[in-house]
Amino acid sequence: MVQRQSDVDPSSPQALTQLTEEERLFAASVREFAEAEIKPYVREMDAESRLKPEIIQKCFELGLMSIEPPEEYGGSGGTFFMACLAIEELARVDPSVSVFVDVNNTLVLNAFMRWGTEEQKQKFMPRLAKDTVGAYALSEAASGSDAFALQTRAADAGDHYVLNGRKLWITNSLEAGLFLLFANVDPARGYKGITAFIVEKDAPGFSVGHKEDKLGIRASSTCELILEDCRVPKENVIGEVGKGYKIAIETLNEGRIGIGAQMLGLARGAYECALAYTKERKQFGQAISEFQGVQFQLAEMATEIEAVRLMVYNAARLKDAGQPFIKQAAMAKLYASLAAERIASRAVELYGGYGYTKDYPVEKFYRDSKIGQIYEGTSNMQRQTIARMLLAE
């Protein structure tokens, strides 16, 4: 089991990239798992738009679905930083598996740890660690960046609430058995009526609808959720009634670091493929890596990856240390997602015509990279957060 507290001092400049021995071994073990047991099936899962059940099961068995929670709740007792290391190493091989693990850790379990009652923690967290996939259900057709415009309603019916509405673009929804779902109990109060609910997949009136046919991260399920007089017991309200907006904001602030880690891993994967290919591919009697023009491109890719690593690791270390991190999280997600697309695009170009085919991995990295600028807060929303905080300083 991993230790809950890291012995790295987040105030030290060396802490940003220097890993403890424990963190190094943990990252290496996730990398080994990704290489040995995920990599052989990446193309198949992308083509079939589904995760292999064996890989899902293995993620649970290895403790990757509950890295930060204490052992008393079935978790590994690690740190948020270690969760980000796992997300990064998985994304280096397959960003779809990476976001599958990411949502369970940085969004769903994070919310339980911060706002769940002791009874809720005891009841649900061990399941999320052992065999139950979690999903985070906030977005709707008219409620994307304007998250507080959600139309899903929750009516008080005595010992339970009755929920009606539809959610869109919900990650993990096909595999999930548990949903952290947001609905408004009092629309007249605007965002102050938003409340967070724990909805189980077998709840009466709840169903998973249309599955999206996506450009990238295709093996990661993204579906519509349908609530038609869905009954949710009152003990399944997480946090206070009417304070769901706070849970949504603060959970996403943390989740953005996870997406930054995913984009870091994706960029590494694309770069490493391109670097190896340029050493093998020969033109004009020599490997193309011998040409200065190619070398300069590789140098720029590696430099951007290092910058992303510093930003993501810094935000994660700050979060673990209990220090302010919202601005750093927004910056990390913004820069990481933009850099990942640039690096993946350049990798495709370095492969030439081969890079445009599905026979090589870089076209998938390129397709997968675009979502980083969209989910868990678009790039423009990150810019808005950063600007607002800069002006308030």
Residue 82 in contact with residue 90, Cβ under 8 Å?
Answer: no
pLDDT band at 310 (very low <50, low <70, confident <90, very high): very high
Q: If you search the block for the tokens 């990239």, which residue do you land on?
A: 17
What span, in angstroms and rounded, lies between the C-alpha atoms of 262 and 371?
Answer: 11
Residue 191 in contact with residue 161, Cβ under 8 Å?
Answer: no
Q: With respect to CATH, is domain 246-392 assigned 2.10.109.10?
A: no
What span, in angstroms and rounded, lies between the C-alpha atoms of 197 and 179?
Answer: 8
- pLDDT attached to residue 13: 45
User: What mean pLDDT comes out for the span 278-285?
Assistant: 98
Which residue out of 280, 363, 376, 393 is catalytically annotated? 376
- pLDDT attached to residue 2: 44
The pLDDT tens digits of the residues spanning 198-213 come to: 999 999 999 999 999 9
The pLDDT tens digits of the residues spanning 321-342 come to: 999 999 999 999 999 999 999 9
What span, in angstroms and rounded, lies between the C-alpha atoms of 259 and 371?
Answer: 10
CATH H-level, domain 135-242: superfamily: Butyryl-CoA Dehydrogenase, subunit A, domain 2 (2.40.110.10)
User: What mean pLDDT comes out for the span 270-294?
Assistant: 98
- pLDDT attached to residue 324: 97
- pLDDT attached to residue 18: 85
What secondary structure letter does DSSP report for 206? Answer: E
Q: If you search the block for the tokens 């099936």, which residue do you land on?
A: 41
Q: Which strand (E) or helix (H) includes residue 150?
A: none
Question: Which stretches does DSSP call E strand in 174-302?
Answer: 176-184, 194-200, 206-211, 222-233, 237-238, 282-283, 286-287
- Choosing among 3.30.70.360, 3.40.190.10, 1.10.150.130, 1.10.540.10, the CATH entry for 13-131 is 1.10.540.10
Mapped onto helix, strand or coil, the DSSP state of residue 229 is strand
Q: Is the pLDDT of residue 128 over 60?
A: yes
pTM exceeding the 0.85 threshold for the entire prediction: yes
376 a catalytic residue: yes
Residue 239 in contact with residue 196, Cβ under 8 Å?
Answer: yes
Mapped onto helix, strand or coil, the DSSP state of residue 205 is coil
Of 185, 138, 194, residue with least CA distance to 163: 185
Note whether 13-131 and 135-242 share their fold: no
Mapped onto helix, strand or coil, the DSSP state of residue 351 is helix
Question: Which stretches does DSSP call E strand in 149-238?
Answer: 153-156, 160-171, 176-184, 194-200, 206-211, 222-233, 237-238
Mapped onto helix, strand or coil, the DSSP state of residue 83 is helix
The pLDDT tens digits of the residues spanning 34-66 come to: 999 999 999 999 999 999 999 999 999 999 999
- pLDDT attached to residue 1: 35
- pLDDT attached to residue 282: 97
Mapped onto helix, strand or coil, the DSSP state of residue 145 is coil
Residue 183 in contact with residue 163, Cβ under 8 Å?
Answer: yes
130: left (phi over 0), alpha (psi -120 to 50) or beta: alpha
Residue 293 contacts by C-beta under 8 Å, 6 or more apart in sequence? Answer: none
- Chain centre to alpha carbon of residue 60: 16
Q: Label residue 29 exposed, middle or buried (CB < 10 Å: 0-12, 13-18, 19+).
A: middle
The four Cα atoms 260, 264, 267, 273 give a dihedral, to 10 degrees, of -150
User: What mean pLDDT comes out for the span 153-178?
Assistant: 98
Mean pLDDT of the chain: 95
Residue 296 contacts by C-beta under 8 Å, 6 or more apart in sequence? Answer: none
Domain boundaries, the chain: 13-131, 135-242, 246-392
What span, in angstroms and rounded, lies between the C-alpha atoms of 86 and 335?
Answer: 20
- Chain centre to alpha carbon of residue 24: 21
User: What mean pLDDT comes out for the span 355-379?
Assistant: 97
List the structure tokens of 259.
């997406």
